[in-house]
């Protein structure tokens, strides 16, 4: 089914739409999507199952190209509740406790972001959210830092090996550039985060435990056409600093550079300011797909019921307000109730 299109909708939100393009060698592969809180709040409804009331969400699969066959969902569909697994804050996209020696725990009032289930990792898919994020570096632990603690030690960066106990405040733990000065490598720390397009606040905190980590500059998307400066000459006295960054291609890289001998980064908090979010084209009742539910939709629905017009796949989904797979007079009644309530 490579090359065929697929649209995945939860409630009235299209969470993924596009043409499958897979270059691996597996017969089947996974697509992991996070259902946003606003979609859950808006689209969860109650139905009766043999006398038991249950909260449900509609999940719909269809082609993304009108009139074409969709790619097949070949294996399993899981909806997994992740809220009990870890504590997160809806206002935060990512919280990275840089240099944390136990990435599975939080300290004090800290909360993870919507897209990360651990406090730090090498760049790759998050086990829970499926979003790609993390530290970008050679994973080779060439200086045997892993003998110090269970933290993340890489070829060019280390956790603070002098304080390995779990539970340090986010402004006390840190990740630093390891031996880059001695090996004549430009001082750099790089993280990357998969994010919906939009504008984000990036908050950070730096320290200078050895007197050689002065005034780092933080870039967004360093080396790309969208490169910008988030913070210039940041203080290294554990004062929180922040700036804004734009995401236009689904990814934000946070790149730290310095002319001094080291960079010591305590944490990164990324908060959404304005994002595109999930598409709601074709939401229930918006039969003419103009983004609003109004009397024009009722007119089109009436024509359809009387046999005077046909509906596209998207329009049929929007017309099926009662969620029984058949747009009919019951949906017309439900649409009238929506218009009265609206």
* φ/ψ of residue 321, rounded to 5: -65, -35
Longest dimension (CA), the chain: 80
Q: What value does the mean pLDDT of the chain take?
A: 88
Q: What confidence score (pLDDT) does residue 284 get? A: 81
Would the pLDDT of 278 be above 70? no
Contact between 71 and 6 (Cβ < 8 Å): yes
Q: What is the pLDDT of residue 68?
A: 78
Provide the whole-model pTM. 0.72
Q: What is the pLDDT of residues 165-183, one digit of tens each?
A: 988 999 999 999 998 988 8
The span from the CA of 12 to the CA of 277, in Å, is: 12
- Say yes or no to pLDDT of 275 above 80: no
Q: Do 326 and 319 contact (CB within 8 A), yes or no?
A: no
H/E segment holding residue 273: strand 264-275
CB 42, CB 12: distance < 8 Å: yes
Average pLDDT over residues 242-248: 96
183-230 tens-digit pLDDT:
888 899 999 999 988 999 999 999 999 999 999 999 999 999 999 999
Task: State the DSSP string of 185-249.
Answer: --EEEEEEEE--SEEEEEEEEE--TTS-----EEEESTTSTT-EEEESS---SS--EEEEEEESS
Task: Give the separation between CA 310 and CA 319, rounded to whole angstroms.
Answer: 12
Q: Domains for the chain: give ranges and CATH numbers.
A: 1-79 (no CATH), 94-275 (2.60.120), 281-342 (1.10.1330.10)
Q: Which residue, 252, 208, 209, is CA-closest to 230?
A: 252
pLDDT confidence of residue 84: 44
Are 156 and 177 a contacting pair, CB within 8 Å? yes
Distance between CA atoms of residues 342 and 339, nearest Å: 5
Nearest to 168 by CA among 254, 103, 234, 84: 103
Element of type H or E holding 334: helix 329-341
- Percent of the chain surpassing pLDDT 70: 96
């Amino acid at each position: 089914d490579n090359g065929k299109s697929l649209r995945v909708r939860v409630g009235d939100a299209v969470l993924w739409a596009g043409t499958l393009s897979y270059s691996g060698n597996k017969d089947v592969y996974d697509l992991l999507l996070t259902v946003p809180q606003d979609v859950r709040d808006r689209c969860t409804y109650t139905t009766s199952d043999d006398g038991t009331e249950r909260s449900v969400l509609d999940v719909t699969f269809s082609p993304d190209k009108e009139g074409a066959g969709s790619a097949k969902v070949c294996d399993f569909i899981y909806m997994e509740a992740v809220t009990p697994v870890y504590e997160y804050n809806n206002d935060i996209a990512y919280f990275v406790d840089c240099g944390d020696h136990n990435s599975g725990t939080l300290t004090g009032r800290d909360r993870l972001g919507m897209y990360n289930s651990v406090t730090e990792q090498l760049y790759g898919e998050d086990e829970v959210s499926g979003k790609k994020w993390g530290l970008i570096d050679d994973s080779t632990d060439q200086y045997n830092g892993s003998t110090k603690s269970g933290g993340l030690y890489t070829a060019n960066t280390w956790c603070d090996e002098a304080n390995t106990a779990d539970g340090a405040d986010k402004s006390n733990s840190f990740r630093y550039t390891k031996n880059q000065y001695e090996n004549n490598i430009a001082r750099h720390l790089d993280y990357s985060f998969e994010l919906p397009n939009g504008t984000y606040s990036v908050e950070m905190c730096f320290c200078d435990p050895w007197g050689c980590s002065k005034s780092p500059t933080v870039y967004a998307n360093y080396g790309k056409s969208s490169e910008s400066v988030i913070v210039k000459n940041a203080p290294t006295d554990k004062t929180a600093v922040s700036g804004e960054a734009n995401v236009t291609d689904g990814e934000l890289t946070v790149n730290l550079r310095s002319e001094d001998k080291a960079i010591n980064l305590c944490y990164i908090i990324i908060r959404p300011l304005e994002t595109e979010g999930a598409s709601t084209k074709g939401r229930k009742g918006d039969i003419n797909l103009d983004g609003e539910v109004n009397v024009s939709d009722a007119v089109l629905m009436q024509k359809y019921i009387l046999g005077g017009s046909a509906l596209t796949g998207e329009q049929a989904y929007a017309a099926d307000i009662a969620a029984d797979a058949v747009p009919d007079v019951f949906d017309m009644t439900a649409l009238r109730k929506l218009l009265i309530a609206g």
